[in-house]
Structure 1
């Protein structure tokens, strides 16, 4: 994603179509993984798979019509983890209330994207914190994946974590899938994640491994999908807990999306329109029954394949709709097949650490707090709070007040208030 591409020039329709198919296969694992993560929040996986597909298709269409950019939009890995493991399991929201949080956050994101605030935040928020957010969420996903693979478990009184039972069938299958998926990824095999999931699922079926994560999904359930539409519960919208959750989700959406799109598009004039298309998609996704959508980092695979316009995203969107006919196969997918994808995705997100200036401790330490506290506390919002609070403190302590903008100070105070409110609640 570090390469700078010249978009909207020397367009070749066949190349664009191939790029769209390539991007789809690179991110298609989200059709399986997202419903299984949301299942832990209480949303039926047999229905949220439709929300995943339709929100992805809508996001890709918006990217085609509004931005004409080769960006794939899907429910974000990390954002779905925040939805399930922070909003629902940690903060105690129901999934309906969590969808309401997403809707309000999406609205704020929308307002920022269509006003000068997007440029204000882009210039005022330190790049080190943006990279730290992505890396911290990545580390959180790695821990989540290791737990799903049963490679780590609670260490009890002796340690925080301990190694899992390496002789158990689920762990051995997960290790096999991790090795296979990693090899396919490193060899740049198109759809390597999907291949790893399919092969491991077939093996699990052959050895009669119980598929705990599978969902009885079929196209016939499409008629029941309406049960997820517009299910947000806005009853507690004015409570401190709700507003604190909205603030944290908004910060994740605004800055993660900004970082991802800048990395994918570089200095392309399409950036602002792509940012706006992403905001519209994120706002709509909550009403469709899923956690917010963001630009997929896997869009880079399509760009590297020659994708330069929205035809790439349009092609991927059509592929998402075609995938509706394959969803019955989800019932055969075990945790051992999903965990390696989550682990590798998290590791890829952690590459952002390399973009942080590690020689400047006043830049590195606040980002470091975000990276370590998100997985250790199991709360993305807590990690963000400590990082944003620490940044101005570190700069003031180093005698470099000029490095802290007024916008950054305001956000730091808001995060401090959020942290205080979480203690009092």
Structure 2
């Protein structure tokens, strides 16, 4: 991440009310919140499309996604004073839909119950000393690997949204069609946003999104996947509220699903927050805010929320306080009235911000001692497996299991903390159970 200026360091420590009184900081936080919102706004469309395969009506899931995100951002902003956006997590929603519902045969109502119980366990960790113990138990090398891995994941997401890469026929990935209007628009947006960023233009990311979106409208480049939803559908939203089915909560398959989802929520959230928070002192409350919102998301009828990696876009735009999250929450709330307009912000306009943010996060690789193979190889696994598997929890699992094994192999077993051993063991169990599920 960029080095903080003196003003940013001050903002990092400011209480929420004091930040409100500082016009310069307030302006930067507003821009950061708007930038972060647009970087993650695709979740309003993508999350309902994924949950549709679980059986949740798309037009109602849109409202659940927006409301859960807005509430999560407000809790994060007011409670933790942290520049983090909470939304239903990509990866988590896939686990909810394709593992719990499609793979294990549960109804979406039972999956909601599973996510709520997992979130309660997550909250028990977040509001006790376990959170600090587990966070302190993560070696610095793995923390850097988590940041870089999430960064590379964002780069992959951004390149896909820009249609610069696609699924290959004879290889894992292939170069996209550079003659496509959407790809050309994304390349323009990337160049423009890079220039604005390198010249330290205030709100450069937001300006890049705005200008690229306007060009998209002029040349009729917009996303066709946006669900047809109007505010009039809101009257039916009550159909998915409080819909959790706890009737089989004590069965072995449900318990296994709860365990796996708990591991994903706790350690994916921990990894994300460790990777993007400018001020580590805000981790504890941010972790707590994330756990509470994760539980509320089940009541609201959607898959669990997590800290959005795209929050880093807002942070790179200057977000340092909870004001950024609050602004993003306001934007989510306003989006209820402008859902059809989101189709006019194409993926090509969002992609450049995500790519640049991911590249900046990968600078964390400089903190890893590359001269010690046993030290950096576990971090390497995290970095490559997060984007290759599109699962933050999978990357974390392999890194955390490998780290203590290699330290033992090199005679450094006594230098490893007990939490590191415990984490490695928990992730090993998670990998085994995930394979069985």
User: Given the two structures, how large is their TM-score scaled by the length of structure 2?
Assistant: 0.79
Q: Which runs of 4+ in 1 moved over 6 A?
A: none
Secondary structure at 1:297 match in 2: helix
Q: How far apart, in 1, do the equivalents of 2:203 and 2:235 lie?
A: 30
Match of 1:35 among 35, 39, 44: 44
Equivalences for residues 142-153 of structure 1 within 5 A: 142-153=155-166
Alpha-carbon offset, residue 298 of structure 1? 4.7
Match of 2:431 among 404, 413, 419: 419
Match of 1:13 among 14, 21, 25: 21
Alpha-carbon offset, residue 399 of structure 1? 0.9
Q: How far apart, in 2, do the equivalents of 1:400 and 1:251 lie?
A: 25
Quickly say closer, same or farther: Cα 1:412–1:154, change in 2 above 3 A.
Answer: same
Q: Find out whether 1:61 has 2:74 as its counterpart.
A: yes
Secondary structure at 1:29 match in 2: helix
- Cα-Cα RMSD: 3.5
Equivalences for residues 39-50 of structure 1 within 5 A: 39-43=48-52, 47-50=60-63
Q: How far apart, in 2, do the equivalents of 1:70 and 1:381 lie?
A: 23
Q: Find out whether 1:182 has 2:197 as its counterpart.
A: no
Secondary structure at 2:51 match in 1: coil
Alpha-carbon offset, residue 82 of structure 1? 1.2
Moved more, 233-242 or 106-115: 233-242
> 1:242-280 CA deviation, whole Å, 9 max, x = no partner?
52233223211133224434xx2244xx65344433332
Moved more, 193-202 or 141-150: 193-202
Aligned residue number for residue 265 of structure 1: 279
> 1:100-136 CA deviation, whole Å, 9 max, x = no partner?
5543343222111211111211221212223323332
Aligned partners of 1:218 and 1:327 also within 8 Å? yes
Q: How far apart, in 1, do the equivalents of 2:229 and 2:208 lie?
A: 20
Aligned residue number for residue 312 of structure 2: 297
Secondary structure at 2:166 match in 1: strand
Q: How far apart, in 1, do the equivalents of 2:38 and 2:227 lie?
A: 15
> 1:338-393 CA deviation, whole Å, 9 max, x = no partner?
44344334334433333333333222110111111222234333322211110011
Quickly say closer, same or farther: Cα 1:210–1:72, change in 2 above 3 A.
Answer: closer
Quickly say closer, same or farther: Cα 1:407–1:221, change in 2 above 3 A.
Answer: same
Secondary structure at 2:163 match in 1: coil
Q: Find out whether 1:346 has 2:382 as its counterpart.
A: no
Quickly say closer, same or farther: Cα 1:172–1:258, change in 2 above 3 A.
Answer: closer
> 1:50-80 CA deviation, whole Å, 9 max, x = no partner?
444433432343345434x25343227xxx2
Aligned residues: 413
Match of 1:408 among 420, 425, 432: 420
Q: Find out whether 1:22 has 2:36 as its counterpart.
A: no
Equivalences for residues 56-135 of structure 1 within 5 A: 56-67=69-80, 69-75=81-87, 80-89=89-98, 92=102, 99-100=112-113, 102-135=115-148
Q: Find out whether 1:243 has 2:263 as its counterpart.
A: no
Aligned residue number for residue 285 of structure 1: 297
Q: How far apart, in 2, do the equivalents of 1:265 and 1:140 lie?
A: 22
Unpaired segments of 5 or more residues in structure 1?
none
Q: Find out whether 1:253 has 2:269 as its counterpart.
A: yes
Aligned partners of 1:130 and 1:256 also within 8 Å? no
Aligned partners of 1:121 and 1:407 also within 8 Å? yes
Aligned partners of 2:141 and 2:367 also within 8 Å? yes
Q: Find out whether 1:374 has 2:386 as its counterpart.
A: yes
Alpha-carbon offset, residue 415 of structure 1? 2.0
Aligned partners of 1:214 and 1:332 also within 8 Å? no
Q: How far apart, in 2, do the equivalents of 1:109 and 1:193 lie?
A: 34
Q: How far apart, in 2, do the equivalents of 1:402 and 1:319 lie?
A: 50
Aligned residue number for residue 331 of structure 1: 343
Unpaired segments of 5 or more residues in structure 2?
none
Quickly say closer, same or farther: Cα 1:34–1:375, change in 2 above 3 A.
Answer: same
Q: How far apart, in 2, do the equivalents of 1:62 and 1:210 lie?
A: 32
Moved more, 399-408 or 203-212: 203-212
Equivalences for residues 376-391 of structure 1 within 5 A: 376-391=388-403
Secondary structure at 2:312 match in 1: coil
Q: How far apart, in 2, do the equivalents of 1:98 and 1:201 lie?
A: 37
User: Given the two structures, how large is their TM-score scaled by the length of structure 1?
Assistant: 0.81
Alpha-carbon offset, residue 41 of structure 1? 1.1
Aligned residue number for residue 409 of structure 2: 397
Aligned partners of 2:166 and 2:174 also within 8 Å? yes
Q: How far apart, in 2, do the equivalents of 1:328 and 1:355 lie?
A: 44
Quickly say closer, same or farther: Cα 1:419–1:259, change in 2 above 3 A.
Answer: same
> 1:269-320 CA deviation, whole Å, 9 max, x = no partner?
x653444333323332343325413273355368x57x66x56655554454
Alpha-carbon offset, residue 397 of structure 1? 1.3
Alpha-carbon offset, residue 329 of structure 1? 0.6
